[in-house]
Amino acid sequence: MNCKLFADRFKPLTDPFSSKNLIIFGTGPLVGTIVPGSSRTVAISKFPATGAVANSCGSMSFAFNLKQAGFDHIIITGKSEKPVYLHISDDHVELSKAKVIWGKDIVETTNFLKKKHGSSGVIAIGQAGEKLVKSSMTLIDKTSTLGRGGLGAIMGSKNLKAILTQGTKGIPIAELKKFNKLYKNLIERIRKYPHRDSWIELGMLRSLPVGMLLTAKGQKKKARQCSDRMYLKKMKKRRIACPSCPMADKDILEIREGEYSGLINYTSSIINPLMMFIVDGLDTYDQAIKAFDLISRYGLDSLTMTALFEFISKMNEIDLLTNEELGFEWKRDYKTFNHLIEITAKREGFGDILADGWKKLAEQNKTFSNEMLTVKGLDVIFEPRFLRLGTMEFEQVVNPKGAHVASGGSPTYVGAGGTLDKMKSHFNRMGIPETAFSRIFDPPKKGMGVNVGRLTRYSEDWYTVLTSLGLCARAQMNRFFSLDLVTDLYNLITGFNLHQEELRLSAERSWNLLKLMNLKEGFSRKDDKFPNGWFKPLKMGENVLKFQDFYGEVIITQDIANELLDDYYDERGWDKQNSYPTISKIKALALEKYF
Amino acid sequence: MVKSKLIEIIIHEERCTGCRICQLICSSIYKNKYSPTEAFIQIVDAYELIPKISFLDGCTHCGQCVNYCLYGALELKEGEE
Ligand code: SF4
Ligand code: SF4
Ligand code: SF4
């Protein structure tokens, strides 16, 4: 729905910072209800880091409140003369002066607005958004990130500091009795899930034990600092949940000792600061949390800042980026990391270049782009030389947005190391048609087991189904859903009578529409490019890791990578030469109007 | 702590995640819609360091919110008649 609203109003090739660029915030039809994990906010816009039209998702209580106020979408266009924030409280919709919060960080802004207006959902930008830093994001309720790739800057360009939603209208259910029965079954399944307690206790640390990564790097001392025990004893303050979620994983952290004792940080997951800790240069866990807190307050992206720190450190070590060019003495340490954050958020000195993103940085030296681990101007999140090539890693290459985590319910994760039968049951859950199975199990090289290119198409569709309904796609929540079940939930809540195939088709339609919009922005197959660095070995402590398929049987070469891309386009019904959707695909999806 | 003739609900605020499932259940039973602000149980400062949980007049002590709170923030204790 968000995609269509955008496509109907957006003029191709509009500059991301033009007043004519739009931001559309959307909620799904299940948002505001008790359906587990139904609290997602989706924002679509043309993003400055990449120049792509893209969706971005977040959670916490913004969409929930918007829906309770009686709205499904907010369309933001134009530009305010002076800083403002948008206040929506049931039927009361008002742009209010934001003079006192302009220049303040996200935490201060959110606290101020919640104190002033009471219980609400708040999306806010920090100083980085105000300064149009192209990697700036927004935070929902100072916790959940929304808008990797510059949503903060787009709001900043419109002088829109924040949006606050409050709703008291309530949401009626079409078939309450039947719905209650279904809900009861679902919640009992969740209650009985044997790993639920440990998920709640450890949050995302359960899914990605950072200590293991550090151990692989040979850094046992650092690894010990982020064990489960240390997390519980020294970092975790409180677990919080998005409205309706029985599998909460959001963190309120507290540093209890040392220099930063007393620091409180809200984060969508403990993994965020701990992933920063992996980088060489941060020595203690509390440095990582402190630096992460600063990044969050400014509204920067912790992944991008960490990748920049790593990149500049490397380039500085081999004299490709000297201290003179940087304007200060570079060291791989905490102090320098902090300085990097400050100058980027404020656009000071070399920070002005960094604030314009990877593309601008690449212009500084011809060799840089070869060394950067980016796709379409966004730094990659999942490193396939460590994790191997699953759908999440592959999706980063083909996602119209650029390197991004959008292929929820990645079967290569759920089936990790498992049998192909396990994968099949997972495919059924996602609603992958049986006719596609034989193609998915036919990879370019024997031994690879699955064809990640073909499978990614279905991962994207499944993710889009969940997102468009407003459902959480995180693994621990996603695992309880199936296409059958979410269709039933949708029908009982709305009173419609949709077939699951129609739901799947509408997800496919919206993905194709997104693709079409980006073709008009000039993207094509040439931009779906595997970073060169992936084909080189990665040194991790004593280990040398190579780019391997998901089962670790085959080394991925450029040729195999190209074949996987061919297969992905083929499975999507797109032309292999330029990645355009074919005429027959456009017709089948009734998208002629947008071609 | 709220006492009634039949049941007693013990509140463990430190375990509350602010998920509002209790409010959604209560309002669906008594108002036929999902409307946390109209529930007989109120969660204030859901995302602050310590949320505040209270029961409003009108609460029938049916215990359904306790039943569906999956985080152990609400606990049912048999009271004396
Ligand atoms: S799993 Fe996490 S992100 Fe998803 S709904 Fe629950 S708290 Fe929110
Ligand atoms: S009391 Fe229980 S159900 Fe209610 S908000 Fe807190 S954790 Fe959720
Ligand atoms: S005990 Fe029953 S009436 Fe009272 S708040 Fe809970 S669900 Fe509502």
Q: How far is the CA of A11 from the centre of ligand 1 (A)?
A: 34
Q: Report the atom number in ligand 1 closest to the C-alpha of A248.
A: 7
Judging contacts by C-beta atoms under 8 Å, the chain A residues touching residue B38 are 168, 170
Fold of A2-166: Aldehyde Ferredoxin Oxidoreductase;  A, domain 1 (3.60.9)
**A-chain residue closest to B49, CA distance:** A238
* DSSP secondary structure string for all residues of A457-526: HHHHHHHHHHHHHT---SHHHHTT--HHHHHHHHHHHH-----HHHHHHHHHHHHHHHHHHHHHTT--GG
**Which amino acid makes up residue A548?**
Q
Min Cα–Cα distance to chain B from A241, Å: 5
Alpha-carbon span A310 to A313, nearest angstrom? 5
**B-chain residue closest to A33, CA distance:** B34
Q: Which residues lie across from A87 on neighbouring strands?
A: A94, A164
- Does B62 reach chain A within 8 Å, measured CB to CB? no
Alpha-carbon span A227 to B59, nearest angstrom? 44
Name the interface residues of A facing B (CB cutoff 8 Å): 32-34, 60-61, 68, 119, 141, 143, 168-173, 176, 180, 187, 190-191, 200, 237-246, 248, 252, 264, 266
User: Whose alpha carbon is nearest atom 8 of ligand 1?
Assistant: A242
Which residue, among A142, A152, A171, has the nearest Cα to A62 in the 3D structure? A142
CATH 3.60.9.10, chain A: domain bounds? 2-166
Is the CB of B39 inside a 6 Å radius of any atom of ligand 2? no
Which residue, among A273, A286, A272, A280, has the nearest Cα to A309 in the 3D structure? A280
* Contact between A495 and A175 (Cβ < 8 Å): yes
**Do B35 and A169 count as a contact with CB atoms less than 8 A apart?**
yes
CA B29 from centre of chain:
13
**Do A241 and B24 count as a contact with CB atoms less than 8 A apart?**
no
Alpha-carbon span A491 to A76, nearest angstrom? 30
- Which of B17, B33, B70 has the CB atom closest to A171's CB atom? B33
Alpha-carbon span A528 to A376, nearest angstrom? 8
- Does B57 reach chain A within 8 Å, measured CB to CB? no
Residue A144 burial by CB count (10 A; 0-12/13-18/19+): exposed, middle or buried? Answer: buried
**A-chain residue closest to B42, CA distance:** A119
Torsion angle defined by CA atoms of residues B34, B39, B41 and B47, in that order, rounded to the nearest 10 degrees: 50
Which residue, among A19, A20, A16, A24, has the nearest Cα to A44 in the 3D structure? A24
- 3-class state of residue A69 by DSSP: coil
- Which of A34, A169, A200 has the CB atom closest to B21's CB atom? A34
Interface pTM (ipTM) of the complex? 0.94
Tell me which ligand sits closest to the C-alpha of residue A36: 1
Min Cα–Cα distance to chain A from B71, Å: 8
Most A-contacting residue of B17, B22, B45 (CB-CB within 10 A), to test interface = B17
Min Cα–Cα distance to chain A from B17, Å: 4
Q: How far is the CA of B22 from the centre of ligand 2 (A)?
A: 6
- 3-class state of residue A455 by DSSP: helix
Give the Cβ contact number of residue A182 at 10 Å: 16
Q: N- to C-terminal Cα distance for chain B?
A: 17
Q: What is the CA radius of gyration of chain B?
A: 12
**Do B35 and A171 count as a contact with CB atoms less than 8 A apart?**
yes
Q: State phi, psi for A43 to the nearest 5 degrees.
A: -120, 130
Provide the pLDDT for residue A552.
87
Enumerate long-range contacts of A571-575, CB under 8 Å, 24 or more apart: A571/A436, A571/A439, A571/A453, A571/A454, A571/A457, A571/A458, A572/A457, A572/A512, A574/A515
**Do B35 and A168 count as a contact with CB atoms less than 8 A apart?**
yes
A84-89 and A160-166 beta bridge pairing: parallel
| Confidence band of B79 (pLDDT split at 50, 70, 90) | low
Alpha-carbon span A345 to A403, nearest angstrom? 22
* Contact between A565 and A559 (Cβ < 8 Å): no
Provide the pLDDT for residue A418.
62
Its domain, for residue B51, covers: 5-80
Spans of chain A, pLDDT less than 50: 415
* Contact between A138 and A76 (Cβ < 8 Å): no
Choices 3.40.50.1820, 2.70.180.20, 1.10.599.10, 3.10.20.30: CATH for A380-594? 1.10.599.10
**Do A252 and B46 count as a contact with CB atoms less than 8 A apart?**
no
- Does B38 reach chain A within 8 Å, measured CB to CB? yes
Min Cα–Cα distance to chain A from B43, Å: 10
Alpha-carbon span A312 to A330, nearest angstrom? 9
* Contact between A527 and A415 (Cβ < 8 Å): no
> What residues flank ligand 3, with Cβ below 6 Å?
B 25-26, 40-41, 55, 59-65
The three-state (H, E, C) secondary structure of A187-244, written as one string: HHHHHHCCCHHHHHHHHHHHCCCHHHHHHHCCCHHHHHHCCHHHHHHHHEEEEECCCC
Q: State phi, psi for B52 to the nearest 5 degrees.
A: -110, 130
The residue whose CB lies within 8 Å of the most ligand 3 atoms, and thus the one to mutate among B56, B61, B68, is B61
The number of distinct structural domains making up chain B is: 1
Q: How far is the CA of A242 from the centre of ligand 1 (A)?
A: 6
Judging contacts by C-beta atoms under 8 Å, the chain B residues touching residue A33 are 24, 34
User: Whose alpha carbon is nearest atom 5 of ligand 1?
Assistant: A37
Task: Please check the confidence at residue B81 and state whether its pLDDT lies above 70.
Answer: no
**Which amino acid makes up residue A529?**
K
Q: What is the CATH number of the domain that holds B48?
A: 3.30.70.20
Q: Tell me the pLDDT of chain B averaged across its residues.
A: 90
**Do B34 and A173 count as a contact with CB atoms less than 8 A apart?**
yes
pTM of the model: 0.96
**Which amino acid makes up residue A64?**
F
CATH 1.10.599.10, chain A: domain bounds? 380-594
Provide the pLDDT for residue A540.
85
The residue whose CB lies within 8 Å of the most ligand 3 atoms, and thus the one to mutate among B11, B33, B62, is B62
- Token duo for residue A348: 């000071």
A192-to-A187, A349, B21 alpha-carbon distances in Å: 9, 55, 17
Most B-contacting residue of A30, A31, A33, A34 (CB-CB within 10 A), to test interface = A34
Alpha-carbon span A440 to B8, nearest angstrom? 56
Helix H or strand E segment including B21: helix B21-30
CA angle A150, A579, A393 (to 5 degrees): 55
